[in-house]
A and B are shown apart, each in its own frame.
Chain A
Amino acid sequence: MKRVAARLLMLALPAAVILASCKGGGGQSNTFKIGVVSSFTGPQAAFGQAHKNGYTLALADLNAKGGVLGKPIELVYYDDQGRPDQAVQGVAKLVDQDHVPVILGAYTSENTRAMIPAVTQREVPLLIPTSVADNLMQTGSPWVFRVCQGSGNYAHAILDFLKHNGDPKTIAIIYENTNFGQSNDTAMREAAQQAGLTVVDEEAYQASSPDYKALLARVKAKNPDAIYFGSYLLDASTLMRQSAEVGLDPRYYTAAGTGFSAAEFPTKDKGAGAYAEYTISVSQWLPTAKWKGSKEFDEAFLKLTGTHPAYHAMEAYVTLAIAVAAIEKAGGANPVAIRDALRALWLPETPFGPIRFDEHGQNDHATLVTQIQDGQYKVVWPPDAAEAKPIVPTPPWNKRQK
């Protein structure tokens, strides 16, 4: 064992020297570096790709306008592979080696939560584009800023919709057993009880399983009026397909965005196809949003990828724009100055709506309720933003047209 260790060391040392000598000259570079952590590989790669597309478009727009402080912007990507330990590694690498003064990321709430102590310790601001768990904003860290809404807002938006559209009495919550899922479960349980609904079942599940039929049978036995999912994309598809198989027929299929709001979800090739129909979810942004620049973003995204964007890509887009605005205001690469600039930032007009962070670092943003109708996301709530009438209650599986 000792000899093996010695050999490994002999191999590792020269490798480290070579790597260190390759890097060099970080301080004198001609670009302004900004760090990005997201899940470009692994089970969350679809969302990581959405992030990357959003960042790519933002980068092109911002550099076309001259970059920041007279330098072109360079994004340093770190792939966390969907794993929290890798996300923490990402912070270490981006701050200690690349010396970035601000980090954007990660994708999942689990990973973002893991990054918060790391950025707080290194005193570098973290801008969160997409992670919705409520506990991310409860750490008291002054270095954390979140662009998207939290799981509490999701629960309230769905409950408000339900109350005005048939007023169900019971709800079951099905959630992935990670920070993201647990946070949505807690948020919905508390909000539902306040709203006078009975939570008849709470089911945590292990992500990426091939078989959820037993879980769905449990929910079916409780016969809830409504179901609320906290799921990422791959599981969302499996859950809906198997719900049909099990014959689970609540009056409302609702969800905390994410998998149920991904652009791929209603498609047959990459999602649940027809099984996604009628599901109700939340969205923070749609290509049809009224904010200036939304349409342009949609067009540019379509040109880049051949598909329409979901809100995850927009959140990445606007997060980079926010970071650059703050750096511009801070006048340099000092993390403290950038943090203070973020705190005082007021961007009245972005394609994601007005941006302003409260004293906890949370951006105030509206939550829309959507329903999939004919394979398209349609805003159905609140009434002043609605583009279609909701179809409720959900038709049972055996009454649906194939």
Chain B
Amino acid sequence: MQRFVIVKKGVYLDSIRLMKATEEAKKIPKVKNAFLSLGTEANKKLMSELGFLTEEARKAGPDDLIIAIEMDEKGEGAAVIREVEALIFSSKTKGTQEYASVEDAILSLRPNLAVISLPGDQAVDVAEDMIMKGINVHLFSDHVSLKDEVRLKKLANEKNLLLLGPGAGTTIIGGKGICFANEVEKGDIGLVASAGTGLQEIISILDSLSLGVSHAFGVGGSDLSKEVGGIMTKKCIEALNSDPSTKILCIIAKQHSREVVSEIASYCSKVRKKTFACFLGVEDNLGLENSETLHACAVKIAKEKGESKQFFSFKEILSNAESLSSKLQKERIFIRGVYSGGTLAHESFLILSKLGIRAYSNTSYEKRYLLQNPLKSIGNSIIDMGDEFFTQGRAHPMIDSTLKILRMKNEIKDRRVAVLMFDVILGYGVSDDPAGEIADTIEQVNGPVLLCRLVGTKKDRQGLERQKKKLEDSGIAVCRSNAEMAVLACLIATRCRVERKVEKLWVRLFGL
């Protein structure tokens, strides 16, 4: 193994461009690892963890570009460095239609949707400007205050526009995905979600049942809070109710106020179309076929559509758990989850709780189960790496998985861990090889069982089957839904002691 670290003084490039070039550099033959960054203190700390922090790199400043490459012994360093430099300086998208001014861009296209992913404090003004100009908004940015969210949503509502977000990860309009989105078959199911990866998860499960989507709206995680009152959830339900291509409605929520959920349920009773829901954490039906997991919700929709395919039986999941836990050492008893998707993390947290396994989380709504230090797991822990704590000053883990992979490696090192659950999300907006990034770097010998929920559709550009094979070839068990992964993790960690609870809750967990 040989390492090359080169510092280019006074060469400044933005972090997204460098991250993309890093991913491309890793694909060069004989390159084992790459890290292209500016010499900020934070980046130097990461370089230190990756073994790249040479004396020269240590002296680099925030205006200096650092090129760090790890290669096979046989690779020729100079040629590879030239190739990497070419990647860095030519990474601008071919044929980009780029404008320095919003006004010029609007004149050139007359857009009907603005997608905003600026840092929160700047995003608010830009979003307001778009609404005032009569343009619908998909606001990906987080770090927007509830007060601003309420103000923007009221303004959009007055103007009969959509303000999706803040923190809206996914929207699909007529099959076209905004931000993180899967390639879907056209269908007649319309979805509204205050849960980005929840939307991707249910769309992927529906896809595996050969069911397509008309439109899917991500309204942001706080839309069903008491303060916001579901303004945009209602607006999107109204939109889908009047859309002729939508026959079935589905509403998904992660974080919500019970009062607002009841109000939405009552609002849905006026809808002319069959409506399903998955309000995570709500166990009653609310008069609209509410499910406790996304898996159960998808299966109920499939039944409504006359599709009764069963993913797996209780016996099959039990047999898998017995087989996967057979070689685990006795002291390995804890479950750890490292997620990019907040909804999936929350769903797992709830499933563990239903099965009598208490877990800590960095996003728990119950203070006593909130991890005091999100950087360090204790006991059973579920970590949402997309939480604002981790994304402040850093791209979301679905764009840059560096921190997520480091966290996974740390969890694997813990000798008390029986199972490590994680998600890999395919589709638009994420890297070309999300499974490969993990499969190529995670090593576990005599370690915990590794379970992955691969969220993706058959038409996703990365190739669902190819991605699955990469994970399986690395000894990772790939699950058919997040609910299956969480249940399997509980069975493995307890050596099937929760078998009866799983059997008793089977219909609530899996809908069949």
Decide whether A and B assemble into one complex.
no
